[in-house]
């Protein structure tokens, strides 16, 4: 199969090792720059993806994705029946109540968020994160309490001990003055999610917490397959008949994930600038190549090569360098992603002893990195190729 003349000459020029050594030197470092930029961008993006996924699992896997509060005059079952059709990505919908409380042990006193759950429909994260104790003892005990591992360490409590819950926002007036509602609870378990939630959250029975707070408002805790879809679905759920208020995870952790997204975007931009600098080094190499090959360009023009074909010759030559650097950089980046933690252990570089960097490679992102590198290369080859088209054969060959 015979290649088109523009492609044939362009590839020959790109593979040629003869001629100006300085041009070859610049070309080599242009390809190396694109290679390193694409590899670095692939690695850093994959690590940032890993951190984001870890935050998503540890934090958004624990806090409610959406809270749907039912109007007092409406039956909770009526709203619950509408949720599956309104939220296609719904995984679980369970009754829920949360209150701010002070938890007092014999050793210490600290604030906590006490969540009330229905023992017949436990949230998914609780079923997977129980460290000590059992759900059977939780269901059988009256006024039980399961606390996060961090909260248990701070209060220095263990399973079987009693703690006192005080609700500052709820209380009654007594002859001794205003007294907060309080109750002794038995610690029946300790859970661990590996996030900051372990230091803040305690879980008890929904009925017991309702009895202590005197709050009979019906609220549903919604878990979604994709927590990031919650903001889009909030408006839809808010329009359901009987819904009084809808809140999602953005109210508590939105700023954290916005900061992670901003950091990810800035890292992408800074590393893409490395690729851009390398890509535009191709301009220097191709301009010198056009200057060196003016005689050959003039001959090609006299033999009938059109300006469009001549433009393609030098565009193909420049793009071949960009393709080589981008493809090899992506392959190297993917290989390093697979062995990143082993490589860091080998050179003795660990951010935290015993902790591995989370790495999550997204094929679509790698493709986008390569497309970005090739796009920058395409912009870089326009001017040198245009310079080649401007060569005047009469001026170049007049002394031949």
> 53 with 76, same domain?
no
> 118 with 9, same domain?
no
Domain carrying residue 25: 5-57+257-397
> 296 with 321, same domain?
yes
Give, in order, the Cα–Cα distances in Å from 222 to each of 58, 93, 168, 252, 278: 17, 5, 27, 15, 48
CA triplet 56, 60, 64: central angle to 5 degrees? 165
With CA atoms as reference, report the closest residue to 127 among 174, 180, 91, 168: 91
Q: Which of 248, 275, 302 is the last residue of a domain?
A: 248
> 263 with 371, same domain?
yes
Burial of 88 per CB tally in 10 Å (0-12, 13-18, 19+): exposed
> 235 with 133, same domain?
yes
Q: Which of 197, 226, 248 is the last residue of a domain?
A: 248
> 234 with 372, same domain?
no
Q: Which of 248, 265, 293 is the last residue of a domain?
A: 248
| Sequential DSSP letters for 188-235 | EEEE--SSGGGGTEEEEEHHHHHHHHT----EEEEEES-GGGHHHHHH
Answer yes or no: are the C-beta atoms of 166 and 104 closer than 8 Å.
Answer: yes
> 89 with 209, same domain?
yes
Cα(99)–Cα(170) distance, integer angstroms: 10
Give, in order, the Cα–Cα distances in Å from 61 to each of 12, 55, 86, 199, 225: 56, 9, 21, 15, 10
Tens of pLDDT along 336-370?
A: 888 887 877 777 666 656 667 788 888 888 898 88
DSSP state of 368: H
With CA atoms as reference, report the closest residue to 297 among 385, 377, 379, 399: 385
> 308 with 281, same domain?
yes
> 49 with 154, same domain?
no
Low-confidence ranges of the chain (pLDDT < 50): 1
Residue with tokens 């900051």: 196
**The predicted structure's pLDDT at residue 74:** 81
**The predicted structure's pLDDT at residue 185:** 92
> 186 with 329, same domain?
no
> 83 with 52, same domain?
no
> 172 with 237, same domain?
yes
**The predicted structure's pLDDT at residue 213:** 82
Report how many domains make up the chain: 2
């Amino acid at each position: 199969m015979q290649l088109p003349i523009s492609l044939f000459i362009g590839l020959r020029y790109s593979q040629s090792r003869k001629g100006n050594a300085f041009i070859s030197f610049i070309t080599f470092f242009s390809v190396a720059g694109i290679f390193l930029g694409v590899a670095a961008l692939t690695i850093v993006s994959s690590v940032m993806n890993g951190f984001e996924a870890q935050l998503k699992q540890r934090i958004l896997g624990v806090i409610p994705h959406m809270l749907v509060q039912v109007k007092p005059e409406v039956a909770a079952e009526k709203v619950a029946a509408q949720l599956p059709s309104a939220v296609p990505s719904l995984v679980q919908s369970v009754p829920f109540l949360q209150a701010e409380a002070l938890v007092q042990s014999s050793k210490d006193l600290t604030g906590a968020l006490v969540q009330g759950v229905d023992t017949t429909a436990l949230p998914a994260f609780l079923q997977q994160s129980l460290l000590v104790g059992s759900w059977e003892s939780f269901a059988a005990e009256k006024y039980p309490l399961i606390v996060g591992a961090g909260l248990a360490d701070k209060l220095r409590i263990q399973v079987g001990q009693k703690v006192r819950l005080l609700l500052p926002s709820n209380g009654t007036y007594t002859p001794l003055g205003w007294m907060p509602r309080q109750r002794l609870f038995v610690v029946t378990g300790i859970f661990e999610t590996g996030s900051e939630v372990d230091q803040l959250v305690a879980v008890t029975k929904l009925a017991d917490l309702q009895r202590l707070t005197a709050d009979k408002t019906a609220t549903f805790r919604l878990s979604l397959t994709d927590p990031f879809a919650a903001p889009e679905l909030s408006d839809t759920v808010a329009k359901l008949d009987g819904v009084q208020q809808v809140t999602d995870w953005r109210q508590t952790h939105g700023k954290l994930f916005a900061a992670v997204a901003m950091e990810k975007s800035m890292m992408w931009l800074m590393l893409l600038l490395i690729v851009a600098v390398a890509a535009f080094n191709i301009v220097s190499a191709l301009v010198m190549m056009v200057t060196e090959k003016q005689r050959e360009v003039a001959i090609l023009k006299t033999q009938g090569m059109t300006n469009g074909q001549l433009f393609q010759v030098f565009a193909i030559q420049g793009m071949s360098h960009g393709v080589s650097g981008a493809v090899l950089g992506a392959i190297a980046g993917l290989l390093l992603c697979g062995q990143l933690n082993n490589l860091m252990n080998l050179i003795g570089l660990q951010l935290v002893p015993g902790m591995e960097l989370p790495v999550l490679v997204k094929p679509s992102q790698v493709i986008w990195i390569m497309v970005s590198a090739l796009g920058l290369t395409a912009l870089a080859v326009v001017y040198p190729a245009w310079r080649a088209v401007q060569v005047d054969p009469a001026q170049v060959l007049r002394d031949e």
